[in-house]
Amino acid sequence: MIVAGCDVGSLTAEAVILDNGTILGSEIIRVRPRPEQSARDVMDKLLQRLELSYEAIVYCISTGYGRETISFADDNISEISCHGQGAHWLVSTIRTVIDVGGQDCKAIKVDKDGLLEDFVMNDKCAAGTGRSLELMSEALGTDVSQLGPLSLKASEALVITNQCSIFAEMEIMHYLCEEKNVADIAAGINEAMARRVKLLAGKIGVKEDIGVTGGVSKNIGVVQNLERMLGKKFIRFPEDPQIIGALGAAIFAAERAKQ
């Protein structure tokens, strides 16, 4: 039985297809101006690669910001539940999921069945999100994907004090004008990011096992700083952590298809 999950976020869209409980394939794209187009493009790309059609999908769940506008989805579920379900499906001992997405950050607690127990998210500012990290990377003159590896070369992390992304950019520009080491600035950016995520996660408390999902989970500098600040070692998922929201949606789709 083939089912699908489609997660349309603020920066990227992901699709996952499951065949009888096995991941058949996944895809990630940069979002288009409209959520429906993002969903259609990422699913088209995945179906084409797997040589499947929309007719082959028995049930599809959409999630993320644009989840209610996806015309080919049979139903939609919040990304908070989907990230929890997807992470638990991959690692059954998971109890806390820290999802750092494009424009929000969430700490999600799940029970032994992967069902939502509690969550907290930023709701007033984009500081501590993927987009703020992109802005600071641009100011530094490097691609966001290189920020983690670059920071590992630092001799000391320079302090980024401003929480506001715009003011933080100004701090970075100031450091560059002073000809500070670029790796040290990158380390400061990642440390500041981790500090904001740690403050958020602390509002509900974290319970092991802990895993990080979303695009920022691929930044080794942020992840290592967060582990150090929380005094915990995170589990590593056996699949791309950026697809876990879409994976959770596909798992919910499989359950609905059986009903």
Position 126 scores a pLDDT of: 62
Residue 122: per-residue pLDDT: 78
What is the number of alpha carbons within 13 Å of residue 215 lying toward its C-beta?
A: 26
pLDDT at 10: 83
What pairs with residue 5 in β-bridges? 16, 61
In this predicted model, what pLDDT tens digit does every residue of 45-98 receive, in sequence order?
A: 999 999 999 999 999 999 998 899 999 999 999 999 999 999 999 999 999 999
pLDDT recorded at residue 128: 66
Please report, for residues 66, 103, 134, 209, the alpha-carbon distance to residue 160 in angstroms, rounded to integers and kept in the order given: 33, 20, 15, 30
Whether 74 and 60 have beta carbons less than 8 Å apart is answered as yes
Amino acid at 176: L
Task: Please name the amino acid found at residue 215.
Answer: G
Give the per-residue pLDDT at 32: 93
Can you give the pLDDT of all 259 residues of the chain as single tens digits? 999 999 998 889 999 999 999 999 999 999 999 999 999 999 999 999 999 999 999 999 999 988 999 999 999 999 999 999 999 999 999 999 999 877 788 899 999 999 999 999 876 666 667 788 888 888 888 888 898 999 999 999 988 887 777 788 888 888 999 899 999 999 999 998 898 889 888 888 899 999 999 888 889 999 999 999 999 999 999 999 999 999 999 999 999 998 8
CB 232 within 8 Å of CB 240:
no
- pTM assigned to the model: 0.89
